[in-house]
Amino acid sequence: MTESTPVAEGTAARTTRDLSRAAVSGWLGTAMEFMDFQLYSLAAAIVFNKIFFPEVSPAIGLIAAMATYGVGYVARLAGAVYFGRMGDRIGRKKVLFITIALMGVSTTLIGALPSYAVIGIAAPILLVALRLIQGFGAGAEIAGATVMLAEYAPARRRGLISSLVSLGTNSGTLAASGLWALLLAVLSEEQLLSWGWRLPFLLSFVVLLFGVWVRANLKESPVFEERPDVVDGVALSRKEIEESGASALEEGLKQRKGKAFLLALGLRFGQAGNSGLVQTFLVGYIATELAVNKSVPTAAIVYGSLLGFVTIPVVGMLGDRFGRRPVYLGLSVLTVVIAVPMMLTIASGGTAALTVAMIVGLNVGVLGLFSLESVTMAELFGSRTRFTQLAVAKEIGGILATAIGPVLAASLTAVTGHWWPVAAMLAAYSLITFVSAYLAPETRGRDLVRLEDAA
């Protein structure tokens, strides 16, 4: 394929170089999003209670530090609504430029914040403010990157190319974890608290500069430019369309919304819920309830994430070859089947068996589903509201499943004194995704310029 070869059939012409830039942009944005959040979550757990909340007890300080982490999820939903609507109205490129700038600048400024000892109560207030800005931008980042990649990609390779968004999450999480692991290994506690904690946040400025440069040179989504309701780069309002008498837009305007959104929310539940259980809850459960060194489940997550660099594109290719529904159905059923053996192995097996069980659970029930989610949710929605619906579905699903799931699992295991509630929740989340995939239409190869939803 030469540089001048079009890569998106039936849409505005884009070259291989354009597709490569879009791919790098999508991967980099999601990597930066997850790196930012992982940097913050680790800092909140390790040092922020001492730097920003030193006047309270260590326990209350930790709670306060984690609360500043939680406010980002509220801001994410607000960002999904605001920037999603903007992306459907004025284009994907402009919004993605804004979101990566908001995330990058706020993350860098966190590294430059004075401590509580220097400016008092203003320090945690500024920390929360920057966290809100960071979350506000991140709320539309992964959705925008998903939409852009799906709309750029040739239909026959859409699953593979869209899976780069999922690879970005792996890259960002591993990069942030690696940075913190290095700091903890080479710095004393005094050095870490005085200046070392700032380094990961300040170094993210380098990633920001590269991301802004990539997105400044990125062309608009070819699907957005081909939309029949877009005139001079801005989407017409419903009133403007009706006044123009454009009959070609009638089907997209009159379709009743809601079914595709609910299906997408169900598809999101499996991946998001399983992620909260496997990547968050089980690490603490294994260390506290099973009295296993915390490095064991943490290492298992790292190994599983590394294997994910193979799992994610392979699942994307399978979706391109056999369709989204059969692969979704297969992975969901497989997760249900392995839920009990996985938890039984974790609870009673040795270190090696525990590690293997977590690696399998992560790649089947989380990363495999995430690879499919990236493309299927984009294909479910019509081009007129794709950005908004996808962003909101992702964030609501994340709040309901990822944020609440670990708390519910902790409560149930504490009451029962057993691991079976975790297995039951893994199966339940995966069954929700199974039912959603069963009810959803096959979307492989769908014309993404169409304004109406696939369901």
Span 294-299, average pLDDT: 77
pLDDT band at 40 (very low <50, low <70, confident <90, very high): confident
pLDDT recorded at residue 78 = 92
The pLDDT tens digits of the residues spanning 2-33 come to 344 444 444 556 677 788 888 888 888 888 87
Residue 361's nearest CA partner among 263, 421, 290, 273 is 273
The pLDDT, as a whole number, for residue 245 is: 61
* Integer angstrom CA distances of residue 333 from 224, 266, 390, 437: 36, 15, 24, 11
pLDDT of residue 10: 46
Q: What integer best gives the mean pLDDT of the chain? A: 85
Reading the block at residue 4, the tokens are 């001048």
Burial 386-423 (b: 16+ CB within 10 A, else e): bbbbbbbbbbbbbeebbeebbebbbebbeeeeebebbb
Cβ pair 325, 380 in contact under 8 A? no
Structure tokens at 356: 């293997």
The count of other CB atoms within 10 Å of the CB of residue 297 is: 24
Can you tell me which residue has the tokens 């989504």?
A: 221
- The answer to whether the CB of 29 falls within 8 A of the CB of 98 is no
| Confidence band of 369 (pLDDT split at 50, 70, 90) | very high
The full set of domains in the chain, from first to last, is 16-158+168-222 (1.20.1250.20), 254-439 (1.20.1250.20)
Q: For position 147, what pLDDT does the model report?
A: 92
Q: Which residue has the higher pLDDT, 418 or 59?
A: 418
pLDDT digits (tens, 9 = 90+) for 164-175: 888 888 888 788
pLDDT score of 45: 64
For residues 145 and 246, the model is more confident at 145
Structure confidence at residue 377 (pLDDT): 94
Distance in angstroms (rounded) separating the CA atoms of residues 115 and 71: 20
Predicted TM-score (pTM) of the model is 0.86
Q: Are 382 and 452 in contact (CB under 8 A)?
A: yes
Distance between CA 241 and CA 76 in Å, rounded?
31
What digits encode the pLDDT tens for the residues 137-162? 888 888 998 999 999 989 899 999 99
Give the pLDDT score at 54.
73
Residue 70: per-residue pLDDT: 62
User: What CA–CA distance (Å, rounded) separates 68 from 436?
Assistant: 34
Q: How confident is the model at residue 265 (pLDDT cuts 50, 70, 90)?
A: very high
34 confidence band (pLDDT: 50, 70, 90) = confident
- Averaged over 100-129, what is the pLDDT? 88
pLDDT at 422: 93
CB atoms within 10 A of CB 232: 4
Cα atoms in the Cβ-side hemisphere of radius 13 Å centred on 387: 31
Taking the C-alpha atoms of residue 201 and residue 208, their distance in angstroms, rounded to an integer, is: 11
- Assess whether pLDDT exceeds 80 at residue 319: yes
Give the model's pLDDT for residue 177: 76
Q: Are the CB atoms for 72 and 210 separated by under 8 Å?
A: no
From the CA atom positions of the chain, what is the Rg in Å? 22
Mean pLDDT of 273-299: 80
Average pLDDT of the segment spanning 170-195: 83
333-351: average pLDDT: 92
Longest dimension (CA), the chain: 70
List Cα–Cα distances, 305 to 8, 286, 452, in angstroms.
Answer: 31, 18, 36
Task: Please state, in angstroms and as integers, the Cα–Cα distance from residue 31 to each residue in 175, 278, 293, 349, 373, following that order.
Answer: 9, 20, 28, 34, 17
pLDDT tens profile 413-454: 888 889 999 999 999 999 999 999 999 999 999 999 988 899
CB atoms within 10 A of CB 291: 7
What's the confidence (pLDDT) of residue 9?
46
pLDDT at 61: 59
